[in-house]
Structure 1
Amino acid sequence: MMLDRIERALVLAPHPDDEVLGCGGTIARLTALGRHVEVAVVTRGTAPRFAAEQVAAVRREAAAAHALLGVATTHYLDLPAVELDRVAQADINAAVRAALVASRADTLFVPFVGDLHRDHQLIFDAAMVAARPRGSDYPARVLAYETVSETNWAAPYLAPSFQPNVFIDVADTLDAKLNAFRCFESQCHAFPDERSIETLRALAMVRGSCVGRHAAEAFVLIREVG
């Protein structure tokens, strides 16, 4: 089982809450097993687009969510949110690489390259550079997670489609994931908004039913080195 091979994981979150939406149940499973999980929130909202009070509130929400899931360390890389396309790709690469090296992760969770949000795409690209299999300090496996209202909103047939080939059973940790997302009061909305508790539960049930489980999170395995 893949989880048996994961000792230290790093989850790259373009924005606070992406890590919970994409793999909150998996994080909870790993930490319940005594594994070390860190989260790197890559961007930070900046004025005038985001008020300082709003940014501080979201960080408090993230701290509460991460504590609930058992995240060991949260890194804030502080690159500009929704403006990553104005940052030199080399600088994004360097920031992601630094977080990866600091985490000493054997497993890297990344946003999917086909997500609608440009920040997600650029961070995926940076992760591929940071995790290049050179030397001996690269992660043994890289998995891309799905994010509601991003992964499924890209243009069909024009952007890469999310076709998962790894499913992690989160039946026992789904409630922990949903409670972690409830911590994000600024991001959690009423159904039928996709970023709702009902949608996350339904998606987990659908992904689980694909593989005969009550609930699962789905991933695209980018690479695994045995």
Structure 2
Amino acid sequence: MNRRVLVFAAHPDDEILGMGGTIARHTDAGDAVRICCVTDGSSTQYAGNLEILRQKQGEARKAAETLGVSDYVHLDLPDMRLDTLPHVDVNRVVERQIAEFQPDTVYCVQADVNLDHQAVFRSVAVATRPVPRQVVRRVLTYAPTSSTEWTPAPQTWWQPNWFVDITGTLDRKLEAFRHYRSEWRDWPHPRNDRALRVHAEHWGTVVGYDAAEPFVLIRNVEAG
């Protein structure tokens, strides 16, 4: 049975860095996939620069299309300032996406050192509570490189317990990230082809594959 998969990102590139290979596997399997970027992605770093805003949004859509995703939603909450908004306001946009798309599977960026990531995770946790008639059956978090691994203990808990073999889709993940020229950094920064390949190969060795992506399973509910 095909799944309906909703991927929440705080910023454009979170989803590619953290789970681009897995997204490609979902689309290859015929699953319906929507990516939702909660922030505008540029308003704090490049205040008032509409050219950069359009560039980042274009990069995000091209990256998603490379993975087989045409359903890309870019919201406009303030980048790097989600912690300044009332929690209920972020909840509202997340709940709206879930109500509209009706996913059975939700992926969310890990609540790491980045305060925007923490805010999105908290709202996804609220919106996916296992109450009666909840459509979401599986919730997992993914870890964008250059964020989760830089989070000091004990601020966050990151012990992956769910892994996806991306041996066959790693090259598409790298191709997708190449669209993010505004986010590309030279080695040994974690945001480039070489670093993403090393990262995937590392997690592959953990579970016996050439390349893998790690996740934390927050909840899985098997319906009767």
Which TM bucket (shorter chain)?
over 0.9
Give yes or no for contact 1:6–1:107 (8 Å, CA) kept in 2: no
Match of residue 46 from structure 1? 43
Give yes or no for contact 2:2–2:30 (8 Å, CA) kept in 1: no
Give yes or no for contact 1:168–1:218 (8 Å, CA) kept in 2: yes
Q: Please give the alpha-carbon distance, in whole angstroms, between the structure 2 residues aligned to 1:212 and 1:152.
A: 21
Match of residue 180 from structure 1? 176
Return the offset for 1:137: 3.2
Q: Does 1:127 align with 2:127?
A: no
Match of residue 144 from structure 1? 141
Which of 195, 198, 203 is equivalent to 2:194? 198
What TM-score comes out, normalization by structure 1 length?
0.94
Q: Percent identity?
A: 40
What TM-score comes out, normalization by structure 2 length?
0.94
Q: Please give the alpha-carbon distance, in whole angstroms, between the structure 2 residues aligned to 1:131 and 1:75.
A: 19
Q: Please give the alpha-carbon distance, in whole angstroms, between the structure 1 residues aligned to 2:198 and 2:51.
A: 33
Q: How does 1:88-107 map to 2 (within 5 A)?
A: 88-107=86-105
Return the offset for 1:193: 1.0
Structure 2: gaps (5+ residues): none
Give yes or no for contact 2:8–2:36 (8 Å, CA) kept in 1: yes
Match of residue 73 from structure 2? 75
Q: Please give the alpha-carbon distance, in whole angstroms, between the structure 1 residues aligned to 2:103 and 2:140.
A: 13
Q: Please give the alpha-carbon distance, in whole angstroms, between the structure 2 residues aligned to 1:43 and 1:202.
A: 29
Match of residue 211 from structure 2? 215
* Alignment length (residue pairs): 220
More displaced stretch, 46-55 vs 78-87: 46-55
Q: Please give the alpha-carbon distance, in whole angstroms, between the structure 1 residues aligned to 2:43 and 2:152.
A: 28
Give yes or no for contact 1:116–1:154 (8 Å, CA) kept in 2: yes
Q: Does 1:21 align with 2:17?
A: yes
